[in-house]
Amino acid sequence: MNAGTGVVGLIGHPVGHSKSPEMMNRAFRACGLPFVYLAFDVSPSELGTAVRGMRALGFRGWNVTIPHKVAVLEHLDEVEETAREIGAVNTVVAQEGRLIGYNTDGEGYLRSLVDETGLELSEQRVLILGAGGAARAVAHALATTGVESITIANRTREKAERLAASLRKADARAVSLSELERVVGETTLLVQTTSVGMYPETEAIPIDPSFLHERMIVSDLIYRPRKTLLLREAEARGARIHGGLGMLLHQAALAFEHWMGKPAPVDVMREALEEAMKSAGGG
Ligand code: NAP
């Protein structure tokens, strides 16, 4: 590092669990880019001050995680269309003094899904479990791919209804949890976006496993553990499975591309992520 080193980073609260510093710093080294990536724990009351500080210090950009993904919008000069539709930003780019917000979660999810499963998206009848921030990103991304239909089920039904109504590019609807068994029967891609089953509650499962079947792909956004109870149950019933680590990798790779204007060294980043996950434990 020297006086010319550029800075990018992450703001969230907390940020201690993040694997982004390992992925990004390895990527900068591999590409010979004079940048450093740092994680900053910013409390909600300090968000505005932090953004002004990063702008003043000339950060190239930064990632945004919980709980700032929505609140950060009001501090930006411009928000790109996808992020506006989702209503949340996970990547900020500082360009000629202007702060522009993007959301790479949905596109990162699609890259991972297609990369790992080779799935033909246009043929899919999708069921999304959950209607929180991750569900919004994934649902909006899937809605642009020409999938046959998107059905959303969530503990708080009104949130599922609001999300379905916002998906103007797809045939989308919300259902109640009591309708799940019927809907799962015709589902070809089940996307699990709730936090149910996440470490340390690894024996929790968001759906009756007897509903799962071999004609579907079951995709779980959770990456800790790598193979959730839902994925284990799905696999035992002959379904193909897809875990959440690839989404984490590809949303980071897309953020790198926004900041650096060049393709990310995805293999190097994957290796750094795998190593960081191994040292974190938790399956
Ligand atoms: P969020 O906005 O807080 O949404 C949480 C969702 O989980 C809501 O739909 C919520 O339902 C549901 N939920 C929580 N506890 C539940 C329970 N006990 N029973 C039923 N439903 C429950 O969180 P998020 O940001 O969307 O994150 C959700 C998950 O996705 C997390 O596990 C996170 O780690 C994962 N994620 C992964 C990646 C990746 O890169 N792989 C990226 C983002 C998120 P209600 O609406 O009823 O509260």
What pLDDT digit, counting tens, does each position of 231-279 carry? 999 999 999 999 999 999 999 999 999 999 999 999 999 999 999 999 8
Ligand 1 within 6 A of 61 CB? Answer: no
Q: What is the pLDDT of residue 102?
A: 98
Q: For the chain, what is the largest distance between any 2 Cα atoms, rounded to a whole number of angstroms?
A: 61
Mutate which of 154, 194, 251 to test ligand 1's pocket (most atoms within 8 Å of Cβ)? 194
Residue 283 has pLDDT above 90, yes or no: no
> Rounded to an integer, what distance in angstroms lies between the CA atom of residue 198 and that of residue 203?
9
> Rounded to an integer, what distance in angstroms lies between the CA atom of residue 94 and that of residue 112?
27
> Rounded to an integer, what distance in angstroms lies between the CA atom of residue 215 and that of residue 261?
40
Ligand 1 within 6 A of 247 CB? Answer: yes
- ω into residue 67 within 30 of 0, thus cis? yes
Closest CA to 72 of 60, 56, 90: 90
Torsion sign across C-alpha atoms 169, 171, 175, 177? negative
The sheet carrying 35-41 orders its strands as: 35-41, 6-12, 61-64, 91-95, 98-102, 78-79
Ligand 1 within 6 A of 196 CB? Answer: yes
- Mean pLDDT value across the chain: 97
Average pLDDT of the residues in 42-57? 98
Judge contact between 227 and 283, C-beta under 8 A: yes
Residue 91, C-beta contacts closer than 8 angstroms, at least 6 positions apart: 61, 62, 63, 64, 101, 102, 103, 104, 254, 255, 258
Q: How many angstroms separate the Cα of 64 from the Cα of each of 95, 102, 202?
A: 17, 10, 26
Q: What is the pLDDT of residue 241?
A: 98
Average pLDDT of the residues in 36-56? 98
State both tokens at 144. 């642009």
Average pLDDT of the residues in 95-124? 96
Q: What is the pTM of this model?
A: 0.96
Residue 21 has pLDDT above 90, yes or no: yes
Average pLDDT of the residues in 201-211? 97
Average pLDDT of the residues in 180-205? 97
Tens-place pLDDT, residues 122-181:
999 999 999 999 999 999 999 999 999 999 999 999 999 999 999 988 999 999 999 999
Kindly report the protein residue whose alpha carbon is nearest to atom 11 of ligand 1: 155
Q: What is the pLDDT of residue 281?
A: 78
Residue 280 has pLDDT above 90, yes or no: no
